[in-house]
Amino acid sequence: MNYLWLDAETTGLNPVHNDIIEMAAIPFLKGKEQPTFHEFCQPVNWQNWSEEAERVHGISKEKAKTFQSSADALDKMITTLESYNCKWTIAGYNVDYDKKMMSGWFAKHGRSEDFNRLFEVPTHCTHRRWKKVLKELGSKAPQTENNKLETLAKHFNIEIDAH
pLDDT in 10s for each residue of the chain, 163 residues: 899 999 899 998 888 888 999 999 999 999 899 999 999 999 988 888 888 888 888 899 999 999 999 999 999 999 999 999 999 999 988 899 999 999 999 999 999 999 999 999 999 887 777 777 777 777 777 788 877 767 777 777 777 665 5
Q: Which residues on neighbouring strands pair with residue 91, listed in sequence order? A: 5, 124
Gap between the Cα atoms of 143 and 161, Å rounded: 22
